[in-house]
Amino acid sequence: MPITDVTETLDPADWEAMRALAHRAVDDGFNWLQTVRDRPAWQPTPDKVIAEFHRPLPQEPQGAESAYQDFVDLVLPYPLGNVHPRFWAWYMGNGTPLGAIGDFLAAIVNPNMGGGNHVANHVESQVVDWCKEIVGLPLDSGGLLVSGGSTANLVGLTVARNTATAADVRVAGVRGLPAPLVFYASVEAHSCMQKSLELLGLGSGALRKVAVNAEYQIDLNALESVIGADRAAGLVPACVVGNAGTINTGAVDDLAALARICERHKLWFHVDGAIGAVVALAPKHRHLVAGIEEADSVALDLHKWLHVPFEAGCALVRDRGAQRATFSLTPEYLQHAARGLASGPIWFSEFGPQLSRGFRALKVWLSFKEHGLAKFGRLIDQNIAQAHELAALVRAEPTLELMAPVVLNIVCFRYHPAGVADPELSALNQELLIRLHESGIAAPSYTTLNGQYCLRAALPNHRTQSSDLRILTDAVVRIGRELSGPRT
């Protein structure tokens, strides 16, 4: 019999030293967060720091303290910046201190949320139930936490694919369908819709990108006519994706009208609520997402406007049985037992693509309990008010131009001095944005609307104050003047 003479472990030789390091990490982390406003919104990483990340695999131990010191020296000074009060790029949350504590505790307990009988599954089940309450789906709906909006949308669209016809897509695949399926979304829908259809083997050709109106909402008449044309052509219209907050401008489709269209044509109604589903919490604006409660499936992000640290999204599917029938696969080593470790009513791996799953539910659970959802609703209203404030600042400044209506918390605008037109104008704004980033003053991002390059500020930020908005417009005007010369 082979004998293990010396038993090694990854547990610390000196637990008290490791505990002291954890306390140091808490203090360093809190000091860093509390002073975030004193630092630039963004700054580049020096080349000599980047060079450190090309060292080969470490064979020998460096020790915990030394590894941690590398984090402090090399990583902490050069963040993405989305913790900063004037970071408004793409669409990201800021995180919270208790959210970070939640991730620490989740990793200490370190459960696998794929299945089994343990209390953490009940934590996730409760959080998912709360998400159903947020959007108004029945409590007997299916759902699970996922990595974010892309996966949440994928889950909804997968169930839509598998239930569109009587064919057994799980066995026969897409080639076993009686005719090609068609999915519908506006041209403003997020790119993850196309990525999902590509992954699902339907191909981007199965996605009809429907035109939008002046408010960037899906054109309902155009939608109905393309559905009719597809059906006449022998295709199988399967699913309409409604946007609750588009990524470009924050537009919200008429979800109630889409629900009626889906009912009339017997289509799956999926809502991409990665940005805007949580507007259902906001007393002053929840009417904007009315109709979301009629969806067959909803994708939510919790690491965006609810500020849970990355990653946390939620996929909800009204027909729990259909969700389980799409994803459940229980080979012999995953059979449930009647009692013991392998029993339990909730095996989340049967409701989505992952088997091993982390305890992301804990940070959500702690965060919702800490603040209460009424506060999240007020913060959403606050951010939408800030977006309107920023739009008003833009309108009040002659060299700034508002590029799209403000509905939620996204503001698209550009520096537009008299006498400059595209393509020069787009090039000017591109360079302006880079200079703004390099200044560290603020970090909006960019998009292109009707072929015109825009600055784009997304304001889910819980640290933004009104004074930050004027700092942005002042900086844009100043840098714009520097770049465009004496002309203005």
Among 296, 456, 457, 480, binds its own copies (CB under 8 A): 456
- The interface region with its own copies, picked from 258-266, 306-314, 418-426, 480-488 by CB under 8 A, is 306-314
CB of 38: closest distance to its own copies in angstroms?
14
Q: What is the DSSP string of 139-183?
A: TTSEEEEESSHHHHHHHHHHHHHHHSSSS-HHHH-GGGSSS-EEE
Does 322 bind its own copies (CB under 8 A)? Our answer is: no
Element (DSSP H or E) covering residue 300: strand 297-301
Cα maximum dimension of the chain: 87
- Residue 432 CA to residue 483 CA, distance in Å, equals 7
Neighbours of 343 (CB within 10 A): 13
CB 483 within 8 A of CB 453: no
Pick out residues in 92-131 that bind its own copies (CB under 8 A): 92-114, 116-120, 122-123, 125-126, 129-130
Q: How far is the CB of 456 from its own copies (least distance, A)?
A: 7
Using the contact rule CB under 8 A, the part of the chain among 1-9, 317-325, 418-426, 473-481 near its own copies is 1-9
Count of alpha carbons within 13 Å of 51, Cβ hemisphere only? Answer: 3
CA-to-CA separations, 451 to 210, 247, 262, 413, in angstroms, rounded: 18, 16, 32, 13
Binding of residue 481 to its own copies (CB under 8 A): no
**Is 335 one of the binding residues for its own copies (CB under 8 A)?**
yes
- 318 vs 437 by CB, closer to its own copies: 437
Q: Which helix (H) or strand (E) holds 468?
A: helix 466-484
Binding piece for its own copies, criterion CB under 8 A, among 81-89, 226-234, 287-295, 314-322? 81-89
Nearer to its own copies, 175 or 487 (CB): 175
- Select from 234, 331, 485, 486 the one that contacts its own copies (CB under 8 A): 331
Q: Is 332 in the site for its own copies (CB under 8 A)?
A: yes
Binders of its own copies among 55-74, rule CB under 8 A?
55-64, 66-68, 70-71, 74
* Amino acid symbol at 316: L
In the range 32-51, which residues lie near its own copies by CB under 8 A?
Answer: 32-34, 42, 44-45, 49-50
Q: Which of 224, 254, 311, 397 binds its own copies (CB under 8 A)?
A: 311
Query: Which of 137, 145, 160, 206 touches its own copies (CB under 8 A)?
Result: 206
Which residue lies nearer to its own copies by CB, 112 or 224?
112
CB 356, min distance to its own copies, A? 4
* Cβ-proximal residues to 249 (8 Å cutoff; 6+ apart), any chain: 188, 216, 404, 405, 407, 410, 412, 449
Spell out the alpha helix ranges (H) of 56-96.
64-70
Which residues, 6+ apart, have CB-to-CB distance to 223 below 8 Å? 184, 210, 240, 258, 261
Sheet holding 400-402, edge to edge: 87-88, 443-449, 452-458, 410-415, 400-402
Within 10 angstroms of residue 22's Cβ, the number of other Cβ atoms is: 12
Q: Shortest distance, CB of residue 469 to its own copies, whole angstroms? A: 10
Within residues 132-161, the interface with its own copies by CB under 8 A covers: 133-134, 147-151, 154, 158, 161
The interface region with its own copies, picked from 13-21, 230-238, 317-325, 470-478 by CB under 8 A, is 13-21
Among residues 79, 165, 235, 286, the one that binds its own copies under rule CB under 8 A: 79
Residues 364-403 that bind its own copies (CB under 8 A): 365-366, 368-375, 378-379, 382, 385-386, 388-389, 392
C-alpha 343/C-alpha 481 separation (Å) is 67
Piece in contact with its own copies (CB under 8 A), picked from 91-99, 212-220, 258-266, 476-484: 91-99
Calpha distance 48→50 (Å, rounded): 5
Strand partners, 241: 270
- Provide the residue type at 135 as one letter: V
Residue 158 vs 484, nearer CB to its own copies: 158
CB of 225 to its own copies, least distance (A): 24
Size of the site for its own copies (CB under 8 A): 194
Figure out which of the listed residues 138, 140, 172, 482 binds its own copies, where binding follows CB under 8 A.
Answer: 172
Of 257-296, which residues contact its own copies (CB under 8 A)? Answer: none
Closest by CA to 284, choosing from 164, 181, 387, is 387
Residue labelled with tokens 């784009």: 456
